[in-house]
């Protein structure tokens, strides 16, 4: 089911991740944590034909969280299953209480891996990963992909309001990883 991938390492610029405060766009407090650019791997299978990030309320076709690997060497994997390259500029990855701004491009059929350290760690006991099209973390029109595991996290409610994840549903996580094996937004598709 997987497409053979040619890996190319690229740099993703990070503007600084701030501790989640629940607000929808105010500047981070002066004492908030910042992170270095995330570790990334992007697969390139075609020449760039970057698609613009859609306006709020519509999904970003083909872009979704595909795998969560737990532990200190873990990562959040974001895959572009679409036919066009997708710009990450302006998008955010949340693993509460960390938010990470994304930048760059994921080629059609490409993969981005963000290191666990960049999103505050990834434990099989509980957590969440969410993709946002803008810095509006309480907005159901800004969130476009979500997965919660173990004890989950507070952004599951926002995902439920957006209609992309069932309220209160979390994937039971084994010790090493969870991977999407079906439709995004279906907790039963993760194993």
Q: What is the pLDDT of residues 121-134, one digit of tens each?
A: 999 999 999 999 99
d(CA 114, CA 37): 9
DSSP output for 98-147: EEEE--SEE-TT-EEEEEGGGGT---TTEEEEEEESSS-TT-TTTEEEEE
Q: 43 vs 90, which has greater pLDDT?
A: 90
pLDDT in tens, 45-73: 333 333 333 333 345 778 999 999 999 99
What are the start-end ranges of the H helices in the chain?
156-162
**How confident is the model over 25-48, as a mean pLDDT?**
39
pLDDT reported for residue 59: 54
pTM tops 0.85? no
d(CA 73, CA 174): 16
């Amino acid at each position: 089911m997987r497409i053979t991938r040619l890996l190319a390492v690229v740099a993703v610029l990070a503007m600084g991740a701030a501790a989640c405060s629940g607000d929808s766009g105010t500047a981070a407090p002066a004492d908030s944590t910042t992170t270095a650019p995330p570790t990334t791997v992007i697969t390139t299978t075609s020449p760039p034909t970057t698609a613009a990030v859609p306006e709020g309320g519509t999904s970003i076709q083909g872009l979704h969280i595909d795998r969560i690997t737990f532990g200190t060497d873990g990562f959040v994997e974001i895959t572009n299953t679409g036919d066009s390259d997708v710009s990450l500029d302006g998008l955010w990855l949340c693993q509460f209480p960390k938010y990470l701004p994304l930048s760059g491009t994921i080629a059609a059929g490409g993969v981005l891996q963000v290191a666990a350290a960049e999103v505050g760690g990834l434990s099989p006991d509980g957590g969440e990963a969410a993709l946002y099209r803008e810095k509006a973390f309480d907005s159901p029109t800004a969130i476009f992909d979500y997965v919660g595991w173990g004890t989950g996290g507070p952004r599951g409610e926002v995902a439920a309001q957006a209609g992309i994840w069932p309220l209160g549903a979390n994937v039971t996580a084994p010790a090493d990883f969870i991977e999407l094996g079906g439709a995004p937004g279906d907790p039963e598709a993760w194993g």
